[in-house]
Structure 1
Amino acid sequence: MKNKLRTLCSAAVAIGLAVPLANAAPPMLRKPLPADAATAFAPQQLIVKYKAGTRLAKGDAYLLDRLQAAAALSRSASPAATVAPLRFTVLRGTATGARLVRASRGLQATEADALLAELRRDPDLQYAQLDTLKQRLDSLPNDPELPTRQWDLTQPGAGIAAAAAWDHSQGDGVIVAVLDTGYLPHRDLAANIVPGYDMIGWYGQSNDEPDIAGDGDGRDADATDAGDWTDASMPWCGGNSDSSWHGTHVAGTVAAVGNNGVDIAGVAYQAKLQPVRVLGHCGGLTSDIADAIVWAAGGHVDGVPDNATPAEVINMSLGGSGACKEDSATQEAIDFAISRGVAVVVAAGNSSADVKNFSPASCNGVVTVGASGVNGGRSYFSNYGLGVTLSAPGGNASAGNDPVDRWIWSLGDSGTTVATNDNALIGMIGTSQASPHVAGVVALMQAAAVGAGRAPLTPAQVTQLLRSTAQPFLLAPSPTTPMGAGILDAGAAVKAAMEDIVEDPATVLVSGKVLTGQTGGAGESRLYQIEVPSGGRSLQLRSFGGVGDVSLYASFGEKPSLEKHQRKSVKPGNSEAIVVNLPTAGTWYLRLVGEQGFSGVSVLGVQQ
């Protein structure tokens, strides 16, 4: 089983601004992290959750007995002469009620597969998975000769039209949690920081384990970035690389202080930034990231003080291979955050591949952000697919007449291992840089909505408005690489947040007329209505064509939901049909739900 990686979406160049740029020394290069950075890491922890009310949910002794039995039954998958028998210890509970279990040694791939397969035979099990590494999304080229310029906020057609948004909102009062490598007390960020937390629990407790934390301790209230460099002493990380200061770069894009006469302006420059450290050397573990999501959203995590200032927006510029449907721990944490009204914004990833095969980018309910360049088209590295909500500037390093415009510039440090605290600016490219543009705009939207006397937007409303206000690509992506609704338009999104929002609007179907081009993400829905006259013999409701996977739910007189409906069609694919004989006269509602992302789907209603 391959280890899942969560990686920062960026390569970087650093320029110290203590001297005039005209006399500056050549910028230092950040060596990108190899794509197979953690293939040598053997997972040693599992996240296991049994269904509520079952015996195994009631005590760790039962759980340990079950694990030992499963390990014994699966032992034949590994050579007994070369692999020591497994022993297990329950470390702690997670924020969502699972148990974090540590094995006595790292698990071989075939051994882990066999162990999980044996555990999953138990009908009382809710889920079991490896506690895998998630890392910063690097593996991108560097361009060392770039001065600073924020084209991403101002360039017509390719930037996000920030100035139009700032006329109405600067994000005042909104807290954005950035789950990343932590933060540095940069002169252009410190004033906007609220207390965060270091959620990294693994700090190299023996010589044969990766020291992910790198700060000599486990979870604590100090979210300072200790550096995420790698070297030969860290074989689990797959190669040498300098510290990225990625969390500070992402945070600067969201909320660098504005109107202070230095450096840059963040998208939401009066918002507050909550740093939550989840990534260090080699990356970060799923268990820590899932707990961090819950903590940032105001939930309780055992052993950690509750968050006194819960976030309204969470940004995760991290990700790794493996569909979210196989990452229940992350999805469960995201579901909790969304239930608390928190919008979760994530980077699509930098593998130039379909986002459906990456987590958390393919999780339900998140705003998944692809990257675009100064040419207003898809960045060559950006993941794509039906799961992408929209795109935002992420740089390209291969497009644009002026090399200055090929990068996203934000806050960082020139230190290659530990920070020098020299208040540098760093140029990076990646979907890691695209995602915080959207997180910052969500903060602008929330502040604008409240300022207009409205309730804060729900996560579903945030997604709806971001999609509906996105501007067209200047250079349209190919049909095989869809990049969502378009490029982020901050001005239009903020204005829409200040206006009345039609809750769950229904599109009218005209009998016999096909409605084409229906598009949405996993878990999103579209609602329709059709009028049936008295004396009708039948009502046919259908979906067909396009790509993805949708289901249909129908009811008379009320809007159907997944939980409450009168008829449904839930076959694989997009060809669904509901036929009602002798339908009741009046208004019938039809809900189309994306089991996966969908695009180009047609909907038809016929009453006879």
Structure 2
Amino acid sequence: MKKTTRNLCAGTLGAAVLVSLFAYAADRTIGAAPATLATSAHAASKGVLAAGGQVAAATPQSNFDRFIVKYNAGTTRSSQTMVTSAVNAAAMRAGVAGLKAGSNGVATVLGVQHVRRMAVGADVVRLSRGLNQAEADALLAQLRSDPSVEFAQPDYLRQHTDFTPNDTRYADLQWHYHDASAGIRMPQAWDASTGGGVVVAVLDTGYLDHADLNANIVPGYDFIIDTEVSGDGDGRDADAHDPGDWLGSGESSFHGTHVAGTVAAMTNNALGVAGVAFNAKVQPVRVLGHGGGYTSDIADAITWSSGGHVDGVPDNANPAEVINMSLGGGSKCSDDPVTQAAIDGAVSRGVTVVVAAGNSNYDAAFFSPASCKGVITVGATGKTGARASYSNYGATVAVAAPGGDYNGIAPDYGAVWSLGNAGAQTPEASPAGDRLTGMMGTSMASPHVAGVVALMQSAAVAAGKPALTPAQVKTLLRTTSTAFPVTPPVSTPIGSGIVNAAAAVAAATQDIPADQGTLLDNRIALPNQTGGPGDAILYKIVVPAGKTSLNLRTYGGTGDVSLYTAFDRVPTTSSYDRKSAKAGNGETVLITRPAAGTYYLLVVGETGFSGVSVMAVY
């Protein structure tokens, strides 16, 4: 099946920059091309971005007024009053007071307000003033010292991970689908699957009515409670439209619509651009507004999108098979347990979670949800197939996809093109306000992969196969990816290659044999083992009779792995004979007088890991 393209006349190259509250780089917009052959006055008014302009580094969050606390099951601190009292007491022990008041300058007691109970059982509280980093650390230390507390963390404010561009004319915008070196092989994939029957939830800024998207939208939800962030005058409701996310005099990104268009813009309709999975449905879930979005709202949205229950919100009538999160911030997932808990719930329900690696040109292991277990973290490549200059990297990144990289060359400037709007702050009504917009970022790479996952699931079901598990999806994406035409340096890896839609869809229609592991030969190390957080690699060892010991070990490389072993059966992290779980990669399991037969060894990434050697000695 061939796509239909259309030459558009765009305005000038411009940039609308959004600064992350954590360490993601600010994202860049190239510009909005009108959906007709007229010039966009709004696009032309945005000004000119100098060639070679750099993506600005993000500003870390420095003010914390919301926190998430979860108590262990069965503890007595279950009421709102008890939770707020416990947080207040912890603040007093930490020496964190309220504002100074009166002529004597005496500090008042810090006020603590209970915001709500989350779907994962944690409580969100808001303080009467924001804390600096040292104060927040001191408060959290006191909360975590309570043995009845399962976890305590800031309610981080997240933001999307791309940038929005305004450019001039272009002949063929969607190089990222079919370019021989840098594309994802879309035309060949469309011959086998178009994504029919699959729902992809896009957790983002919401969506806009757009003639090239409307028919592929299913009802979503607005999860933003705080009206200062939401900008639509109300809290949570069933209207996921994007009212704009401008800050001050800045412009809105309409980021969620761009992401949704990459996933499933209508295709073969002689209008605009094509979507990766154009017969799939997009479920817009609004979690980002002015300044970003709170972790607690995002976690609830993950739960709801995947079919879980969230108090006060009607259950999702169309649970997604795929979730895309082109968002994140500069905290490790190990410091963000509420997000990990929500992702764990989604994965347990069979939902594949795809996330952007981030745009800070830094190790994705220091960002969430990019470093969470169970997700598919996506790095970005440019038009040459090389790692995009801004893309985060590291062992956490599973695979790459086109995100664009500014090269200053007309007609497309190396951007990824999708759907947008002519409005500066608030959207202009469709169809007059419909635009095609060029953007660059890992936010643009992630929905390419989410769309391919939709194609894979649709193809598997059409072939009479069971739906793929999230782990199977990740494995197939990695093993079918195309080798990078420009190999990333060893110090900045971005996964196994560029996602290959055609090969991934073909693999999804085949029988997937049970993984019985890679055979380890006696005293021969298997080097360069690599995986992401939560990834599990299975090995098997056939031990002859009469051996006095069996030594199974890992060593070298970077990251942190654990070992799980079992005799004559495949171990899991909850069912095994022995394990080794020290910090780092130096793990050893020693079995004396081993029985003759087959032993299995499961190497699991506690974090992303690379360059690890695995060895068996008997």
Report matched runs for 1:282-321 at 5 Å.
282-321=291-330
2:201–2:305 contact (8 Å) kept in structure 1: yes
Q: Is the alpha carbon distance of 1:8 and 1:413 closer, same or farther for their aligned partners in structure 2, counting shifts above 3 Å?
A: farther
Q: 1:405: Cα distance to partner? A: 5.5
Could you say what secondary structure the match of 2:445 adopts?
Answer: helix
Report matched runs for 1:447-458 at 5 Å.
447-458=458-469
2:26–2:57 contact (8 Å) kept in structure 1: no
One-letter code aligned to 1:392: A
1:51 is matched with 72
Q: 1:531: Cα distance to partner? A: 1.1
1:188 is matched with 212
1:5–1:319 contact (8 Å) kept in structure 2: no
Could you say what secondary structure the match of 2:115 adopts?
Answer: strand
What TM-score comes out, normalization by structure 1 length? 0.92
Q: CA RMSD in A?
A: 2.3
2:359 is matched with 350
Q: For the residues of structure 2 that align with 1:30 and 1:83, how far apart are their CA atoms?
A: 50
2:14 is matched with none
Q: For the residues of structure 1 that align with 2:483 and 2:130, how far apart are their CA atoms?
A: 48
For structure 2, the 5+ residue unaligned runs are 1-19
How many aligned positions are there?
Answer: 587
2:22–2:158 contact (8 Å) kept in structure 1: yes
Could you say what secondary structure the match of 2:30 adopts?
Answer: strand
Q: Is the alpha carbon distance of 1:79 and 1:173 closer, same or farther for their aligned partners in structure 2, counting shifts above 3 Å?
A: closer
Q: For the residues of structure 2 that align with 1:8 and 1:457, how far apart are their CA atoms?
A: 35
**1:145 maps to 2:153:** no
Report matched runs for 1:118-133 at 5 Å.
118-133=142-157
Q: Is the alpha carbon distance of 1:583 and 1:37 closer, same or farther for their aligned partners in structure 2, counting shifts above 3 Å?
A: closer
Q: For the residues of structure 2 that align with 1:292 and 1:405, how far apart are their CA atoms?
A: 34
Q: 1:524: Cα distance to partner? A: 0.7
**1:419 maps to 2:400:** no
Q: Is the alpha carbon distance of 1:359 and 1:146 closer, same or farther for their aligned partners in structure 2, counting shifts above 3 Å?
A: farther
Correspondence for 2:441 among 430, 449, 457: 430
Could you say what secondary structure the match of 2:188 adopts?
Answer: helix
1:14–1:29 contact (8 Å) kept in structure 2: no
Correspondence for 1:18 among 36, 43, 52: 36
Q: 1:313: Cα distance to partner? A: 0.4
1:256 is matched with 265
Report matched runs for 1:326-365 at 5 Å.
326-365=335-374
Q: For the residues of structure 2 that align with 1:536 and 1:37, how far apart are their CA atoms?
A: 58
Q: 1:376: Cα distance to partner? A: 0.9
One-letter code aligned to 1:361: A
2:554 is matched with 543
Deviations 1:321-368 (A, max 9, x none): 111100111111111111111100000000000001111101111100
2:182 is matched with 158
Q: 1:444: Cα distance to partner? A: 0.2
Q: 1:5: Cα distance to partner? A: 6.8
Q: Is the alpha carbon distance of 1:112 and 1:513 closer, same or farther for their aligned partners in structure 2, counting shifts above 3 Å?
A: closer
Report matched runs for 1:67-216 at 5 Å.
67-75=87-95, 81=105, 84-138=108-162, 142=165, 144-145=167-168, 147=170, 149-203=173-227, 211-216=228-233
1:64 is matched with 84
One-letter code aligned to 1:75: G
Q: For the residues of structure 1 that align with 2:347 and 2:604, how far apart are their CA atoms?
A: 18
Q: 1:146: Cα distance to partner? A: 5.0
Could you say what secondary structure the match of 2:309 adopts?
Answer: coil
Deviations 1:400-453 (A, max 9, x none): x76525000000012111111311000000000000000000000000000010
Q: For the residues of structure 2 that align with 1:60 and 1:392, how far apart are their CA atoms?
A: 45
Q: 1:302: Cα distance to partner? A: 1.3
One-letter code aligned to 1:272: K
One-letter code aligned to 1:64: T
1:206 is matched with none
Correspondence for 1:384 among 380, 389, 393: 393
Q: For the residues of structure 1 that align with 2:436 and 2:384, how far apart are their CA atoms?
A: 23
The percentage of counterpart residues that share the same residue type is 52
One-letter code aligned to 1:225: D
One-letter code aligned to 1:332: A
**1:580 maps to 2:580:** no
1:6–1:134 contact (8 Å) kept in structure 2: no
Deviations 1:196-254 (A, max 9, x none): 01110000xxxxxxx211111111111000001111xxxxxxxx421001000000000
Could you say what secondary structure the match of 1:443 adopts?
Answer: helix
1:553–1:569 contact (8 Å) kept in structure 2: yes
What TM-score comes out, normalization by structure 2 length? 0.90
**1:461 maps to 2:472:** yes
One-letter code aligned to 1:453: G
Q: For the residues of structure 1 that align with 2:25 and 2:198, how far apart are their CA atoms?
A: 26
One-letter code aligned to 1:60: Q
Q: For the residues of structure 1 that align with 2:266 and 2:83, how far apart are their CA atoms?
A: 49
Q: For the residues of structure 1 that align with 2:497 and 2:592, how far apart are their CA atoms?
A: 41
2:306–2:321 contact (8 Å) kept in structure 1: yes
1:217 is matched with 234
**1:552 maps to 2:560:** no
1:511 is matched with 522
Q: For the residues of structure 2 that align with 1:313 and 1:131, how far apart are their CA atoms?
A: 25
Q: For the residues of structure 2 that align with 1:534 and 1:344, how far apart are their CA atoms?
A: 45
Q: 1:299: Cα distance to partner? A: 1.1
Q: 1:37: Cα distance to partner? A: 5.6
Q: 1:23: Cα distance to partner? A: 11
For structure 1, the 5+ residue unaligned runs are 204-210, 232-239
Q: For the residues of structure 1 that align with 2:44 and 2:434, how far apart are their CA atoms?
A: 17
